[in-house]
C-alpha cells in the first residue's frame, strides 16, 4: 500500500467524528496510560508489603466486586444525573481512592480501599459508552467504539510496560501518578465536555419512571445480549487467568507467558483500526458469530500448544475474535438501548464483564485442578460455540433499521460537535 493510500485510510478513519468524541477519546487514553495500580497490585502486596498470595487474591476479588456493585449504580446515575456529572464523580473518586490506597497500611483498610477503587474506576464505563452513543451518528458508531477500544489497549500496553519501571523506583509513585492522571481526565471532562443526555419531551418525562432497572431485566432480547456478552467475556478472561496458570503447570516461565500474551496487545494496537475499516459496514450477525467462534476455538487450540510460538499463534486467533467482537457487540448494545435509558442498559452490559471477571478465575482454577488444562480449553471451545449459536438466533430476530428514538437527539449531537 502506498503512502498516499495509508494517509487516505487514516483520514477516513478519523474523519466525520465530532470534536466532543475526541475529547472523550483523549480522556480514555490518558486514563489508561496511567492505569498502573491494577498491573502491579499483586506484586505490591506480596513483595513490598509482605502479605500472602491468598491475601493478594482476596484484595483482587474485592476490587472486582467493587466493579460489579458499581456497574448498575453508575448506569442509574448516568440516566438520572447525566453523563458528564457521572464521569466527573467517578474519575474524581478514582483519583482520591487510588491516592489513598498508596498510603494505607492496615490489611483491612487496604482491602476496603481496594473495593472502593474497584467501584470508582468501573463507574465511568456506562457514562462513557452512553455519551459516545449520544454524540456519534449511528453509521459511525462501530468506528467510534473501535477507536475508543484501540485507545484503551494502547494505553494499557504503555502503562503495563511503565508499571514495572515505576515499581522498581517506588510503588507509592505509581499510585500517585495514576491518581494525578485520573484527576486530569476528570478535569478534561469538566472543562471540555458538555452534557450529552438527550432532551426529553413532556411525554417522555412523564414516562421516565417506566425506564428503570426492571425495564432492563424484563427486556428479554437485551438480556440475551447481556448473557452472550457474559459468555464471551468468560472466554476472553482466560487469557489473563487460565493461560498463565496452564503455561506454568506445563513448565513455561512467566517470561514465556509474557511473550505470548504480549501478542494480544501488539495486534490490537497495530490492526484494530484496519480490521474496523474492513468490518464497519458488514453484517453484524455474521461478525458476532465469527468472533465467538474465533474466541472459543482460539482458546481451544491452546490444548495442542507445546511451545511459546504455538501459544502465540493461538493468541493471534482469539485476538482477532476480540477485535471483531468489541466494537460490533458494543454497537449492538447501543442499538437495543432506549435513548433515555442508555445508562441503565450500559450498566447492565458492563455488569456482564464485571461478573465474568469474578467467575473466570474460579472457573479456570476448578477445571485445571480437577480435570486438567485441556478440559479448560475444550470448555472455552464449547462456550464459544454456544455464544455463536446464540448470536445467530438473536440477530435473526432484530430489525434492520435503527430505532426510531434515534431521531430524538440531533440537537444534542449538534451541540457536542460545536461545543
Do 134 and 341 meet the contact criterion of CB atoms below 8 Å apart?
A: no
Quote the pLDDT of residue 71. 85
Compute the Cα dihedral for 31, 34, 37, 40 and give only its sign.
positive
Q: What is the pLDDT of residue 338?
A: 84
Q: Looking at residue 112, what is its pLDDT?
A: 94
* Contacts for 68 with CB less than 8 Å, ≥ 6 apart: 351, 354, 355, 358
Q: What is the pLDDT of residue 28?
A: 87
Element (H, E) at 406: none
- The pLDDT profile of the chain, 419 residues, written as one tens digit per residue, is 556 665 666 666 677 789 999 999 998 888 888 777 776 777 788 878 888 877 877 887 888 888 888 888 888 898 888 899 999 999 999 999 999 999 999 999 999 999 999 899 888 888 888 898 888 888 888 888 888 888 888 887 787 777 767 877 888 888 999 999 999 999 999 998 888 877 665 555 555 556 677 888 888 888 999 999 999 999 998 887 788 888 888 888 877 887 888 888 889 888 888 888 888 778 888 999 999 999 999 999 999 998 989 999 999 999 999 999 988 998 888 888 887 788 888 889 988 988 888 888 888 888 888 888 899 999 999 999 999 999 998 887 665 544 434 444 444 444 444 44
Architecture (CATH level 2) of domain 211-406: Up-down Bundle (1.20)
Residue 36 carries which DSSP code? -
Task: Please tell us whether the domain made up of 18-198 is placed in CATH 1.20.1250.20.
Answer: yes
User: What is the structure's pLDDT at 93?
Assistant: 94
Backbone torsions φ then ψ of 21, nearest 5 degrees? -60, -40
pTM: 0.77
Whole-angstrom Cα Rg for the chain = 21
Q: What is the CB neighbour count within 10 angstroms for residue 189? A: 25
Question: 346 and 78 in contact (C-beta within 8 Å)?
Answer: yes
pLDDT for position 414: 42
For 319, phi and psi rounded to 5 degrees? -65, -40
- What residues does CATH 1.20.1250.20 cover in the chain? 18-198, 211-406
Q: What torsion do the CA atoms of 230, 232, 238, 239 make, to the nearest 10 degrees?
A: -130
Amino acid at each position: 500500500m502506498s503512502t498516499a493510500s495509508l494517509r487516505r485510510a487514516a483520514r477516513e478513519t478519523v474523519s466525520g467524528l465530532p470534536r466532543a468524541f475526541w475529547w472523550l477519546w483523549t480522556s480514555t487514553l490518558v486514563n489508561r496510560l496511567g492505569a498502573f495500580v491494577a498491573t502491579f497490585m499483586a506484586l505490591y502486596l506480596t513483595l513490598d508489603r509482605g502479605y500472602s498470595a491468598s491475601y493478594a487474591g482476596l484484595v483482587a476479588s474485592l476490587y472486582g466486586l467493587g466493579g460489579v456493585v458499581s456497574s448498575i449504580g453508575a448506569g442509574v446515575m448516568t440516566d438520572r444525573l447525566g453523563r458528564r456529572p457521572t464521569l466527573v464523580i467517578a474519575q474524581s473518586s478514582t483519583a482520591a481512592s487510588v491516592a489513598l490506597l498508596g498510603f494505607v497500611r492496615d490489611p483491612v483498610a487496604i482491602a476496603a480501599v481496594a473495593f472502593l477503587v474497584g467501584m470508582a474506576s468501573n463507574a465511568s464505563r456506562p457514562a462513557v459508552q452512553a455519551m459516545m452513543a449520544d454524540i456519534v451518528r449511528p453509521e459511525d458508531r462501530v468506528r467510534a467504539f473501535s477507536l475508543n477500544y484501540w485507545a484503551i489497549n494502547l494505553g494499557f500496553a504503555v502503562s503495563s510496560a511503565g508499571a514495572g519501571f515505576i515499581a522498581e523506583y517506588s510503588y507509592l509513585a505509581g499510585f500517585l501518578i495514576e491518581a494525578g492522571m485520573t484527576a486530569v481526565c476528570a478535569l478534561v471532562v469538566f472543562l471540555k465536555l458538555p452534557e450529552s443526555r438527550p432532551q426529553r419531551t413532556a411525554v417522555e418525562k412523564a414516562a421516565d419512571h417506566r425506564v428503570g432497572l426492571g425495564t432492563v431485566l424484563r427486556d428479554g432480547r437485551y438480556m440475551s445480549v447481556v448473557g452472550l456478552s457474559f459468555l464471551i467475556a468468560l472466554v476472553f478472561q482466560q487469557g489473563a487467568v487460565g493461560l498463565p496458570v496452564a503455561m506454568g503447570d506445563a513448565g513455561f516461565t512467566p517470561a514465556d507467558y509474557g511473550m505470548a500474551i504480549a501478542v494480544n496487545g501488539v495486534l490490537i494496537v497495530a490492526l484494530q483500526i484496519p480490521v474496523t475499516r474492513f468490518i464497519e459496514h458488514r453484517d453484524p450477525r455474521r461478525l458476532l458469530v465469527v468472533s465467538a467462534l474465533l474466541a472459543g476455538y482460539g482458546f481451544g487450540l491452546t490444548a495442542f500448544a507445546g511451545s511459546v510460538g504455538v501459544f502465540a499463534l493461538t493468541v493471534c486467533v482469539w485476538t482477532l475474535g476480540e477485535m471483531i467482537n468489541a466494537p460490533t457487540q458494543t454497537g449492538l448494545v447501543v442499538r437495543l438501548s432506549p435513548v433515555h435509558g442508555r445508562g441503565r442498559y450500559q450498566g447492565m452490559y458492563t455488569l456482564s464483564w464485571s461478573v465474568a471477571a469474578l467467575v473466570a478465575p474460579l472457573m479456570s482454577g476448578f477445571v485445571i485442578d480437577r480435570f486438567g488444562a485441556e478440559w479448560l480449553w475444550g470448555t472455552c471451545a464449547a462456550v464459544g460455540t454456544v455464544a455463536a449459536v446464540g448470536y445467530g438466533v438473536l440477530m435473526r430476530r432484530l430489525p434492520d433499521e435503527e430505532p426510531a428514538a434515534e431521531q430524538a437527539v440531533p440537537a444534542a449531537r449538534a451541540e457536542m460537535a460545536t461545543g
